[in-house]
């Protein structure tokens, strides 16, 4: 391929990437480790602002995800209980089956039928690689999406990654952006994963395909630095591959940033380090190493948190998320452009457009 053909091909891939992937609702999101959802009590969660309740059918033990909004008067179903194999709303005791259909209304007079629209939305769900994955979009689009698992981050999954999650009051877009930003490491993370001495001029070697965009920092003045590839897989995951100078991989990390509500996210981290795998064969070492890595993850995350929380406050008051980009920011820019396309499709829950006072007041006025 000539250089011109190569450029044309990249441009075509870039356009295709934005066209085909910029839909936050078209994707599987890993939301809970499978062991955290039980048949004993329902669990509340938000995905793209949608209130969702998760539980397990006590008979089949299959996980269920329904809209956390009672079909009667919109009370949260997650405050209810699982009784007689059904999810029961705590307000007036309406009961739901696993499809979200109301099957019992205790106050209904004999001979009266349950209202035909008495149903809570059911969310497609899959259990895979130790996590429960939710699909917040149109179920008809599922067939065109990749199977939900962590393998796209670890094509050679020869041993399971270490997994944990954190809930943060940071918008998912800011955290995703932060993970695509190599030039902050020597400053924000001095003393943990960064060194000021490693700060160096850089540009990003970009590569678009129809379903992902990646960047490799090109640091001509610092050839000793590890070779790292950052990959954004829309709508919510990032793969990070770190190679030694000889290009033998020594670590891979995967980040899922789940947009829960605006300004908040759940961050799922996957780590696949050869040294950790060696330790994990001995249970006590595995436990100790796990604690050490978890503490380290939290420390590093809090270093980012300080920047991102401050940034978020400023953005809320109208500041610009991409005011003066430089060459090192090219991958962030590609993400922010993707986000701009995606946000135009209004991915956030739009069930509550008004403040609660307006809703209650409107209702009150309406009844006069």
Binding positions for ligand FES, rule: CB under 6 A = 70, 72-73, 75, 89, 91-92, 94
Q: Quick one: 118 or 126, whose CB is closer to ligand FES?
A: 118
Q: What are phi and psi of 170, to 5 degrees?
A: -130, 140
Q: Quick one: 32 or 94, whose CB is closer to ligand FES?
A: 94
Q: Quick one: 80 or 137, whose CB is closer to ligand FES?
A: 80
Give CA 181 to chain center in angstroms: 18
Q: Quick one: 29 or 96, whose CB is closer to ligand FES?
A: 96
Q: Quick one: 115 or 139, whose CB is closer to ligand FES?
A: 115
Nearest-approach distance from CB 123 to ligand FES, in angstroms: 19
Give pairs for 83-90: CB < 8 Å, separation 24+: 85/57, 85/58, 85/59, 87/42, 87/53, 87/55
Contact status, residue 109 vs residue 99, Cβ threshold 8 Å: no
Euclidean distance between CA atoms 293 and 273, whole angstroms: 11
Contact status, residue 322 vs residue 313, Cβ threshold 8 Å: no
Q: Quick one: 109 or 197, whose CB is closer to ligand FES?
A: 109
Nearest-approach distance from CB 42 to ligand FES, in angstroms: 13
Nearest-approach distance from CB 67 to ligand FES, in angstroms: 12
Report which secondary-structure segment, H or E, holds 241.
Answer: strand 237-243
The upper half-sphere exposure of residue 278, i.e. CA atoms within 13 Å in the direction of its Cβ, equals: 4
Nearest-approach distance from CB 70 to ligand FES, in angstroms: 3
356's tokens: 């609660």
Nearest-approach distance from CB 86 to ligand FES, in angstroms: 12
Q: Quick one: 68 or 252, whose CB is closer to ligand FES?
A: 68
DSSP string over 143-179? GGSPPSSGGGT-SS-SSPPEEEEEEESS-HHHHHHHT
Longest dimension (CA), the chain: 82
Nearest-approach distance from CB 363 to ligand FES, in angstroms: 14
What is the sign, positive or negative, of the torsion defined by CA atoms of 126, 127, 129, 132? positive
Nearest-approach distance from CB 82 to ligand FES, in angstroms: 15
């Amino acid at each position: 391929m000539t250089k011109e053909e190569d450029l044309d091909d990249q441009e075509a891939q870039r356009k295709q990437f934005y066209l085909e992937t910029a839909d936050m609702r078209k994707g599987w999101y890993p939301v809970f480790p499978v062991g955290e959802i039980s048949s004993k009590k329902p669990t509340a969660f938000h995905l793209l602002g949608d209130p969702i309740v998760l539980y397990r059918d006590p008979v089949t033990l299959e996980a269920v995800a329904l809209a956390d909004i009672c079909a009667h008067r919109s009370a949260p179903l997650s405050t209810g209980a699982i009784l007689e194999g059904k999810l029961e709303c705590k307000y007036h005791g309406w009961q739901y089956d696993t499809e979200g259909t109301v099957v019992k209304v205790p106050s209904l007079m004999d001979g009266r039928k349950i209202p035909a629209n008495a149903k809570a939305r059911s969310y497609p769900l899959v259990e895979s690689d130790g996590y429960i994955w939710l699909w917040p979009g149109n179920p008809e689009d599922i067939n065109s999406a990749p199977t939900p698992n962590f393998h796209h981050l670890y094509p050679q999954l020869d041993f399971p990654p270490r997994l944990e999650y954190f809930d943060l009051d940071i918008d998912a877009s800011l955290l995703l952006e932060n993970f695509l930003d190599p030039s902050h490491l020597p400053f924000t993370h001095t003393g943990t994963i960064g060194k000021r001495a490693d700060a160096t001029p850089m540009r990003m070697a970009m590569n678009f395909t129809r379903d992902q965009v990646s960047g490799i920092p090109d640091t001509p003045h610092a050839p000793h630095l590890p070779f790292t590839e950052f990959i954004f897989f829309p709508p919510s995951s990032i793969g990070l591959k770190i190679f030694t100078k000889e290009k033998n991989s020594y670590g891979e990390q995967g980040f899922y940033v789940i947009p829960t509500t605006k300004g908040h996210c759940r961050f799922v981290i996957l780590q696949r380090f050869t040294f950790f795998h060696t330790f994990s064969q001995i249970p006590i070492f595995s436990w100790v190493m796990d604690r050490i890595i978890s503490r380290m993850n939290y420390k590093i995350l809090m270093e980012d948190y300080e920047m991102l929380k401050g940034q978020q406050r400023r953005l809320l008051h109208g500041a610009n998320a991409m005011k003066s980009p430089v060459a090192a920011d090219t991958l962030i820019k590609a993400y922010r452009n993707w986000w701009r396309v995606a946000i135009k499709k209004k991915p956030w829950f739009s069930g509550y457009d008004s403040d609660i006072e307006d809703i209650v007041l409107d209702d009150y006025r309406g009844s006069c």
